[in-house]
Structure 1
Amino acid sequence: MPRPGTGPPRAANRNQEPSMSATKRRFLADLWTLTKPYWKSEERLKSGLLLAVIVGMSLGIVYLNVLFNEWNNLFYNSLQEKNLDEFFRLFGRFAILAAMFIIVAVYQIYLRQMLQIRWRRWLTERYAAMWLTHRNYYRLRFSPNGADNPDQRISEDIGGFVEQTLSLTLGFIESVVSLASFSVILWNLSGEIHILDIQLPGSMLWAAVLYAGFGSFLTHYIGRPLIRLNFLQQRYEADYRYNLVRVRENAEPIALYGGETQEAGNLSGRFTHVVTNWWAIMRQQKRLTWFSAGYSQAAILFPFLVAAPRYFSGAIQLGGLMQTASAFNHVQSSLSWFIDAYTRLAQWRATVDRLTGFAHALAELEAAKDAGFTRTPASAGQALALTDASLSLPDGRTLLTDAALAVAPGERVMIAGPAGCGKSTLFRAIGGLWPYATGTLALPTEGRSLFLPQKPYLPIASLAATVAYPDAPETYGEARIAAVLTDCGLGHLIALLGEERHWSQELSSGEQQRLGFARAILLAPDRLFCDEASSALDEASQKELYGLLVDRLPKTTIVSIAHRPSLAAFHHRVVRFVPTDPAAAEPVYRLEAAAA
């Protein structure tokens, strides 16, 4: 916000107002988009009933506070009048009211937590499904919105959103009802004030309104930067945690490189963002706490100061003074809900912004899920047909242009070419992962395609489940899985079939690639795409495993990306990436077929 005298002209400030209003409208629309689906879902009846009970309990707490306020009048009057019988009778009444208050307060929290976990579970399942559908978890990296750390948005932001929304909403409802109830009481307890020969009733009520309004204005003015700072803090914390996980998952190569110093510097740099932003939050929170703490302390004495003239004049007794002060504090507290909740509102706003940004990114991916090759059913005698295919990078640079490739059922084709020419990108586009592709891809509507990357994915699961991934191991049986492992040179692992481990950290690169071949033989797909799937193996092992593929999967169409010429013997023909202009600094490639 510009300092006075340094900002733009007044006309420019007026032009900015609609954009601020539009921002608020967009925020409310995003908030409604986040909230509405659950309350229109199959859980709306049970959760609606639960919410109604919770709101009813909130109203019950307000009613009990009204009874406590009446009790204050009677109790302090009994003290002033030294009425011992009335004193003990009111003690008994207090015990009953306190017991009722405790029961309602306990079950309100319990039921609110019940609603919270139901809502969180539903939202988490919904967002996790959206994230995993149509390979959005992969394609999210191409989102222009830059929805960072989706794991944090699903695991933490959803929980924070639900908890903060329920807490703030119920607190707001309770404050509104409390304001209405105690405003009537405070109006009746107030005297008149004289302003310019005008008698104005409800002096205490007007004092509470002015006091809370002044406090709310200053709180928003002082605390407004916290919204952006909390948004950034959540992002920096997630970035730091993500890099810690990367170090843990890549512990072996980091250790072999001796990269501890580099990783320490990287982690330190990430954590510096966390600390720097935290200091900014601390400074802003300190300013807000200076005001809010002083405001809260002044609120204790302010009603006594305003009501003291009526007490000392004899217009009200001690009980009336205490009841007035209590009612004033309830009204002032209700009107000051915005002040007390400002920090949580800032955190909630940041959470909503992160979730809506994530939702918008997923929605854009859903709208663009058909980006890439235009897909059509393959005709008879075709296992794959690619026509007029072009590949580009996200920055617009073209990798491959006007490519055509036709593969017959059961045919084995090897794709070769220099590193970085776009071979793996072609596989990503065939698999539906690469949106920067044009052309037509024809695949059979029936049958299964399996992609075997250079580093196969090994889930943290039993070895049997790892080999059968993504199918269930029960589909094939332990004996069949053990036989395939033996054929692929992994017989020494059969005793571990039932053990759940982090296999990608326990198996060598060569063992992982052997396991990938075992998976391909076990699943027996109709179309198998191998992307440098044997690069970590020696020549003899590579020939052994490819020979096993040819022998065990005679009807499977195999398309392989490989650099070793010896693999051509296992394929019917070779297709090469050839530059259209070999002299170009960044050549564009075409496909050129040749006999194996």
Structure 2
Amino acid sequence: MSLLISLSALLPCVQWQVAAGRTTSRNCDVEQKRSSASPSFRRRGRVGVDRRFLERKWKSFGRGLVPVSWKRFSKIHGNAQDLQISAETSELKSRASPRNVSLKSLPEGRDGLDDQCTPDFEPPSEKQRVGSDFDTLVRRFWKVALPYWVSEDKTEARWRLATVLALTLATTGISVGFNFLGRDFYNALSSKDQEQFLKQLLYYLGAFIGGIPVFVFRDYSRDTLALRWRAWITQDFMERYFENRTFYNIQSQSLIDNPDQRIVDDLSAFTATSLVFALAIFNAVIDLISFSGILYGIYPPLFGVLIVYSIGGTALSVALGKGLVGLNFMQEKREADFRYGLVRVRENAESIAFYAGEGSEINLLLERFNESFSNFSQLLIASRNLDFFTSAYRYLIQLLPAAVVAPLYFAGKIEFGVINQSFSAFNHILSDFSIIVYQFQSISSFSAVVDRLGEFSEILDQQNTLSRPVTYLGSASEAAEPDELESSSDLRPRISVRDIRESVNAQDERSRKLPLLKLENLTLKTPQYASTLVEDLSVTVYEGEHLLIMGASGSGKTSLLRATAGLWAAGNGTVTRYLRPMKSESDEKNAEGHAGNGAALSSVDISQEIFFLPQRPYMVLGTLRQQILYPIWSERGFASPFISKPYDAPASVASSDIQPLNLKPQPGDEELIDVLERVSLGQLMNSCDGLDANVEWASVLSLGEQQRLAFARLLISRPRLALLDESTSALDEENEMMLYSEIRKSGITYVSVGHRSTLLQFHTNLLEISKVKDGARNWRFGPIPRRSGFEILSSSV
């Protein structure tokens, strides 16, 4: 039966060229093109919208398509002469999408990221891109569709599918029954046999009563199967999306556009449409078998004419409608880009209001809407042209059965009811043979969905095969060399990240100073390896020694923290992270169950060891309690009918006697309230109605309050090592001193990035980074003297 489902992908795969593929343009590319474009693209004074440009665009696609009131628009957004945009700029429009934000969305002057927007190659324009061919579409369909039918839910899925097929067979049988009922009904009517007429009428009513539930339950069973399939495949894609921080790599490397839309909209359309098309094909095959004999028995030449007509119509519809595939593909992207632009306005409403950037925002949004509008207008034109053919194809043929069969009736060779029977059988077979003609627009849309999901799945698989931090159980001296641990398809050198978990008894732990982080011969490159940020850095952070990283903006400070967290691979060298030592055989057994040599460790376990605080904290969707517990503890779990283990459980955990490494019990409400008081946020208990308050925290809390809430997370989690990236930048010196004092009292070792000289008093060592000159080392490391009037080390190394 899985072969039947795959046939729904074969329909659209008629050697079409999809006029769009994965784009890799960057925002900076768009800006560069605009700056070098015709002078007709220029801004004068405040930002508005060129009325003549918009009216020209609207009118060029026909009247009545977009009901825009220009007077109302001008009243809201001001004079339209403030911005002139020529039609030439339609070629320069940004192909930007959510992925284009990437690292460029970080604050200005952050760690030499200009190279992020300078790819090693010039990406081809969308018009030049070649879409997926027949073989690629079939392969991508199978890649997306097959896993569910061989998953742990396969038994339930196959039983449900069998039920749908059985009901489909029943509906075909009912249709055949109606075909014969119709013949006898009209025979009784033409012969004026009232008794037989009433009898056939009762048969009709009984057939309706018995047949309607079958049709309804067939559709219901099909839709519930599609829903169950969607639930499983959505969870599968989401786990792969979050595995190995693939979501971060997709965003930072601009690999594909709109992954959110692919997970939400495309997966939903894929599961529902796959089943609809598969059952349509199955039903067509059964119909052909059932009604071909009926029609052939009535008049064989009519059956032959029907076959020739349907084959010719299918070939013409494919030729006339091949452009719909590419247009549907691009419409998916245009709509998602426009929707994402509106989401960004909602998320950054305060910043836009402070900038008074309403005019600029509406102009940028209308650019994106205009791209969607233009593409959809072309789609309507292509659909209109195809509709001319399909309408003629559908209705002209209706005269054929009567024209062919009527002479037989006039000659007395057949009864009147046979004419109705031939009409019914003829239309059934015509629909079966003409499934491509009648469903061409749906098929073209489905082809775009298959292409987008297949591309997404390939990107997920590719990213999850790249090297990632590995855990070695044992002494650091016995750990394998970095090259033995990593595996990557990228031939360029990459930074190796290792996690070492040693076996140390309590006495050894007290007698020696334990390392937490070691950077060995670490060289940081910009993402495209065009320039060097940090050259040959070697530093070790020991427990209880706090490191401050300082340097000019763009020198690589934050990139160094990203490399430590395993988020920055461009460069070479080794990052070794020493995890909490094992103090007993049971701990060692437990650790081996989670991550043996060369295995990846759970993200929850890593969060307990190393905790990162960015300059702008992430506010989760949820209650105040969830804000504090994030990311180690989850207030709400979920029960999945498909996956037997939570996401963070490594695949190697199969034995019930292996306990999670997360041995910390979830803090109670008293501890949560106490930690809020420690970071001077106790007032939230009253102003926000307690720990169960659920509001838009990113909007309700100021940046300073968000930073203090992030410190509350840190204090409640109590990791061994904290990485602080200008985490007190929005706080005054009094609050800064209070927070650093709290984490010091908690016994947390921390590495801070900052510019303020006031940070020196909270740290033991200083790492100062300057710009790279002539390939020489650009860093200096040393202890911070404890004396008044201490001056920062010279920035010239």
Partner of 2:536: 402
Partner of 1:17: none
Tell me the amino acid that sits aligned with residue 245 of structure 2: R
Partner of 1:373: 495
Partner of 2:244: 134
What is the deviation of 1:511? 1.0
Structure 1 counterpart of 2:229, from 119, 122, 127: 119
> Hey, what's the Cα distance between the residues in 1 that align with 2:150 and 2:555?
50
Instruction: Write out per-residue CA displacement over residues 523-576 of structure 1, whole angstroms, 9 at most, x where no aligned residue.
Output: 1110000000001112232223222322x233x221000101121111111101
Structure 2 counterpart of 1:575, from 767, 771, 789: 767
What's the secondary structure of 2:680's corresponding residue?
A: coil
Partner of 1:464: 625
Structure 1 counterpart of 2:340, from 238, 242, 253: 242
Q: Which stretch of the first structure deviates more once superposed, 74-83 or 500-509?
A: 74-83
> Hey, what's the Cα distance between the residues in 2 that align with 1:513 and 1:82?
89
> Hey, what's the Cα distance between the residues in 1 that align with 2:131 and 2:258?
29
| Identity rate, percent | 32
What is the deviation of 1:56? 1.3
Partner of 2:560: 426
Partner of 1:222: 320
What is the deviation of 1:109? 0.8
What is the deviation of 1:225? 1.0
Partner of 1:561: 753
Partner of 1:16: none
Instruction: Write out per-residue CA displacement over residues 458-501 of structure 1, whole angstroms, 9 at most, x where no aligned residue.
Output: 11221122122112468112222222221212121123322111
Q: TM-score, normalised by structure 1?
A: 0.90
Instruction: Summarize the Cα distance change of 1:69–1:589 in structure 2 as closer, same or farther, 3 Å threshold.
Output: farther
Tell me the amino acid that sits aligned with residue 383 of structure 1: L
> Hey, what's the Cα distance between the residues in 2 that align with 1:590 and 1:116?
58
Partner of 1:110: 220
Q: Which stretch of the first structure deviates more once superposed, 165-174 or 361-370?
A: 361-370
> Hey, what's the Cα distance between the residues in 2 that align with 1:218 and 1:544?
76
CA contact (8 A) 1:429 1:435 kept: yes
What is the deviation of 1:117? 1.0
RMSD: 2.0
Instruction: Write out per-residue CA displacement over residues 281-300 of structure 1, whole angstroms, 9 at most, x where no aligned residue.
Output: 10011111111112111132
What's the secondary structure of 1:529's corresponding residue?
A: strand
Partner of 1:167: 276
Tell me the amino acid that sits aligned with residue 523 of structure 1: S
Matches within 5 A, 1:31-430: 31-143=141-253, 146-190=255-299, 202-370=300-468, 372-378=494-500, 381-397=514-530, 398-430=532-564
Partner of 2:25: none
> Hey, what's the Cα distance between the residues in 2 that align with 1:24 and 1:154?
24
> Hey, what's the Cα distance between the residues in 2 that align with 1:107 and 1:318?
35
What is the deviation of 1:578? 2.2
Q: Which stretch of the first structure deviates more once superposed, 539-548 or 35-44?
A: 539-548
> Hey, what's the Cα distance between the residues in 2 that align with 1:330 and 1:297?
14
> Hey, what's the Cα distance between the residues in 1 that align with 2:184 and 2:682?
86
Whose helix proportion is higher, 1 or 2? 1
What is the deviation of 1:79? 1.9
> Hey, what's the Cα distance between the residues in 2 that align with 1:488 and 1:330?
73
Check if 1:491 corresponds to 2:600: no
What's the secondary structure of 2:400's corresponding residue?
A: helix
What's the secondary structure of 2:554's corresponding residue?
A: coil
Tell me the amino acid that sits aligned with residue 594 of structure 1: G
> Hey, what's the Cα distance between the residues in 2 that align with 1:66 and 1:414?
81
CA contact (8 A) 1:176 1:334 kept: yes
Tell me the amino acid that sits aligned with residue 52 of structure 1: A
What is the deviation of 1:185? 1.0
What's the secondary structure of 1:475's corresponding residue?
A: coil
> Hey, what's the Cα distance between the residues in 2 that align with 1:136 and 1:326?
54
> Hey, what's the Cα distance between the residues in 2 that align with 1:395 and 1:273?
30
What is the deviation of 1:142? 4.5
What is the deviation of 1:259? 1.0
Tell me the amino acid that sits aligned with residue 779 of structure 2: L
What's the secondary structure of 2:778's corresponding residue?
A: strand
Instruction: Summarize the Cα distance change of 1:595–1:217 in structure 2 as closer, same or farther, 3 Å threshold.
Output: same
What's the secondary structure of 1:367's corresponding residue?
A: coil
Structure 1 counterpart of 2:667, from 457, 461, 476: 476
CA contact (8 A) 2:533 2:772 kept: no
CA contact (8 A) 1:299 1:329 kept: no
> Hey, what's the Cα distance between the residues in 1 that align with 2:770 and 2:132?
53
Structure 2 counterpart of 1:501, from 695, 701, 704: 695
What's the secondary structure of 2:729's corresponding residue?
A: coil
Partner of 2:578: 444
Instruction: Write out per-residue CA displacement over residues 415-453 of structure 1, whole angstroms, 9 at most, x where no aligned residue.
Output: 011111121111111111123232111111336100011
> Hey, what's the Cα distance between the residues in 2 that align with 1:289 and 1:33?
33
What's the secondary structure of 1:579's corresponding residue?
A: coil
Instruction: Write out per-residue CA displacement over residues 228-276 of structure 1, whole angstroms, 9 at most, x where no aligned residue.
Output: 1111111111111111111111111111111111111111111111111
What's the secondary structure of 1:528's corresponding residue?
A: strand
What's the secondary structure of 2:514's corresponding residue?
A: coil
Q: TM-score, normalised by structure 2?
A: 0.68
> Hey, what's the Cα distance between the residues in 1 that align with 2:385 and 2:394?
14
Partner of 1:7: none
> Hey, what's the Cα distance between the residues in 2 that align with 1:125 and 1:25?
27
> Hey, what's the Cα distance between the residues in 2 that align with 1:533 and 1:394?
24
> Hey, what's the Cα distance between the residues in 2 that align with 1:549 and 1:237?
47
CA contact (8 A) 1:134 1:369 kept: no
Partner of 1:541: 735
What's the secondary structure of 2:408's corresponding residue?
A: helix
What is the deviation of 1:278? 0.7
Partner of 2:782: 594
Check if 1:29 corresponds to 2:151: no
Partner of 1:194: none
Unpaired runs of 5+ residues, structure 2, are 1-129, 469-487, 489-493, 503-512, 581-607, 636-664, 785-797
What's the secondary structure of 1:439's corresponding residue?
A: strand
How many residues align? The count is 560
> Hey, what's the Cα distance between the residues in 2 that align with 1:253 and 1:589?
39
What is the deviation of 1:31? 1.0
Instruction: Write out per-residue CA displacement over residues 161-220 of structure 1, whole angstroms, 9 at most, x where no aligned residue.
Output: 000000000011101110121111111110xxxxxxxxxxx2011011011112111111
Instruction: Summarize the Cα distance change of 1:420–1:588 in structure 2 as closer, same or farther, 3 Å threshold.
Output: farther
Tell me the amino acid that sits aligned with residue 491 of structure 1: G
Instruction: Write out per-residue CA displacement over residues 89-148 of structure 1, whole angstroms, 9 at most, x where no aligned residue.
Output: 11011112222221110100111111111111000111111111111111112557x321
CA contact (8 A) 1:577 1:589 kept: no
What's the secondary structure of 1:461's corresponding residue?
A: coil
What's the secondary structure of 1:316's corresponding residue?
A: coil
CA contact (8 A) 2:536 2:777 kept: no
CA contact (8 A) 2:770 2:779 kept: yes
